């Protein structure tokens, strides 16, 4: 594996050395954080210090942060918790999301739809963008929640969530943001986004897998997904894991210390590919409003997975959760099955140098060249979706 180049940071990031160090130190603090003896108090301090780091990264208050196992649990907690909340009038309730949202959002919403609630899945344009006016027009008197992804995990398009959040606040509709991919890559402020709920995942920000957090705006409450001992303000029962939580907290602290993921490696990667492949490749997603580390490509005749394997580049032909079955996101953008199969997502990270990005581009160019030598001359160029 040493000769492979890793460009799959959107799927998962390696843990930062500082995170590993903090987690190792935290392993000895395995008393229950709710216990009142010295060991329990030490574990509690680790949890609360991590809570402060997460809150600072999101520009929220400490008491608005709830720890959980990750983005999927967080999203299910928010969506299903809202549907059962005593703060809402009796259903059926109406929910709004987009066609390019993550399955961790779409599937709980479809579950609610099967339970008799209403669901609107808004379409996007060929760049993956959603208009605020679409959300405004979709809101109904019984709309309970608008739930949208911030940075699209496959093509990287950033949605105009501050404008959408303002619409939701004005219309009296709760607003949930999936910030799993955008935290650490662009600035996040729950106040600027006017989010009522927001969630993140540790393994997307150089923290541990199996740990995430959700922001719940002060004054709001949810019916818990997990009932039990009433941990985490009664929102998420279950004994907290201080070493995982400490790792997530340190990862969020590093965002403030090290800054956002640099844009230069991804742009150098794309420039090199464009210079050498020209019209044989196109870049997808919004040209300006996008995550700074994503280069989503469609090749003229090549099969995406074969190119990656031949180039020895660790990347994806879609989101990790879709790689085996094709991408509903690309279908929503208007891609044909052939175009989707010829597409790859390259995502750089904090450890990616410009030199490594150039080396990956050169490998991909060579792999495309080898592939095209095997192709029939009559094959046509890809058209824009």
Q: What is the pLDDT of residues 72-127, one digit of tens each?
A: 999 999 999 998 875 677 779 999 999 999 999 999 999 999 999 999 999 999 99
* Active site residue ranges: 321
pLDDT at 326: 67
Distance (Å, whole) CA 17 – CA 9: 16
Token couple for 183: 């935290």
Distance (Å, whole) CA 174 – CA 193: 12
Where is pLDDT greater, at 324 or 266? Answer: 266
pLDDT at 374: 66
Please state, rounded to an integer, the average pLDDT across all residues of the chain.
93
| Burial class of residue 58, CB neighbours in 10 A (0-12, 13-18, 19+) | buried
What burial letters (b/e) apply to 191-216, b meaning 16+ CB within 10 Å? eebbbbbbbbbbbbbbbbbbbbbbbb
Predicted confidence band at 320 (pLDDT cuts at 50, 70, 90)? low
Distance (Å, whole) CA 116 – CA 347: 39
What are the Cα distances from residue 108, in Å, to 70, 167, 258, 344?
Answer: 15, 24, 35, 27
pLDDT for 321 beyond 90:
no
- The DSSP output letter for 8 is B
Distance (Å, whole) CA 73 – CA 160: 25
Beta bridge partners of 66: 214
Residue that the structure tokens 């649990």 belong to: 73
Strand 343-347 and strand 143-149: the pairing is unpaired
Contacts of 380 (CB under 8 A, 6+ apart): none
Q: What is the pLDDT of residues 189-248, one digit of tens each?
A: 999 999 999 999 999 999 999 999 999 999 998 999 989 998 888 799 999 999 999 999
Radius of gyration of the chain (CA): 22
- Determine which of 134-148, 178-192, 201-215, 298-312 has the lowest per-residue pLDDT on average: 298-312
- Scanning the chain, the segments in alpha helix (DSSP H) are 17-26, 38-58, 71-83, 103-114, 132-138, 161-171, 242-258, 264-277, 304-311, 328-332, 337-341, 354-374
Token couple for 93: 């309730």
Q: pLDDT over 90 for what percent of the chain?
A: 83
pLDDT at 302: 84
| 3-state DSSP of 51-72 | HHHHHHHHCCCHHHEEEECCHH
| Omega prior to 92 cis, within 30 of 0 | yes
Predicted confidence band at 323 (pLDDT cuts at 50, 70, 90)? very low
Residue that the structure tokens 């790689």 belong to: 323
Distance (Å, whole) CA 149 – CA 301: 31
Q: CB neighbours (10 Å) of residue 311? A: 24
Q: CB neighbours (10 Å) of residue 227? A: 9
Strand 343-347 and strand 294-299: the pairing is antiparallel
> Which pTM does this prediction carry?
0.93
| Burial class of residue 131, CB neighbours in 10 A (0-12, 13-18, 19+) | middle
pLDDT for 380 beyond 90:
no
Q: Identify which of 110, 129, 128 has the alpha carbon closest to the alpha carbon of residue 119.
A: 110
pLDDT at 378: 46
How confident is the model over 157-164, as a mean pLDDT?
98
Token couple for 7: 């460009």
pLDDT at 376: 52
pLDDT at 30: 73
Quickly count helices (H) and strands (E) in the chain: 12, 12
Predicted confidence band at 301 (pLDDT cuts at 50, 70, 90)? confident
pLDDT at 87: 65
């Amino acid at each position: 594996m040493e000769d492979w180049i890793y460009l799959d940071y959107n799927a998962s990031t390696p843990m930062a050395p500082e995170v590993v160090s903090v987690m190792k130190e935290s392993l000895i603090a395995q008393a229950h954080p709710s216990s009142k003896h010295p060991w329990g108090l030490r574990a509690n301090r680790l949890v609360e210090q991590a809570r402060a780091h997460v809150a600072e990264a999101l520009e929220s208050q400490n008491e608005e942060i709830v720890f959980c196992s990750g983005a999927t649990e967080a999203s299910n907690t928010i969506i299903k918790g809202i549907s059962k909340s005593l703060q809402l009038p009796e259903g059926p309730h109406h929910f709004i999301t987009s066609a390019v949202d993550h399955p961790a959002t779409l599937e709980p919403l479809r579950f609610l739809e099967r339970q008799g609630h209403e669901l609107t899945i808004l379409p996007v344009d060929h760049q993956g963008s959603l208009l605020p006016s679409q959300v405004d027009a979709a809101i109904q008197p019984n709309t309970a929640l608008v739930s949208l992804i911030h940075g699209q995990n496959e093509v990287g398009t950033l949605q105009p969530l501050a404008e959408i959040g303002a619409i939701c606040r004005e219309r009296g509709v709760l607003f949930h943001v999936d910030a799993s991919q955008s935290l650490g890559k662009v600035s996040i402020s729950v106040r600027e986004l006017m989010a009522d709920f927001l969630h993140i995942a540790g393994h997307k920000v150089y923290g541990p897998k199996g740990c995430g957090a959700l922001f719940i705006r002060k004054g709001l409450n949810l019916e818990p997904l997990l009932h039990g001992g009433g941990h985490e303000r009664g929102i998420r029962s279950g004994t907290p894991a201080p070493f995982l939580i400490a790792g997530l907290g340190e990862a969020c602290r590093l965002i403030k210390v090290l800054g956002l993921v640099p844009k230069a490696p991804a742009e150098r990667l794309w420039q090199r590919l464009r210079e050498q492949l020209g019209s044989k490749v196109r870049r997808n997603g919004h040209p300006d409003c996008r995550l700074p580390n994503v280069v989503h490509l469609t090749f003229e005749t090549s099969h995406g997975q074969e190119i990656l394997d031949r180039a020895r580049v660790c990347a994806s032909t879609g989101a990790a959760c879709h790689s085996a079955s094709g991408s509903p996101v690309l279908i929503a953008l208007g891609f044909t099955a052939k175009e989707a199969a010829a597409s790859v997502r390259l995502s750089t990270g904090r450890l990616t140098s410009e030199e490594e990005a150039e080396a990956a581009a050169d490998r991909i160019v060579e792999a495309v060249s080898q592939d095209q030598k095997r192709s029939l001359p009559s094959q046509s160029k890809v058209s824009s979706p």
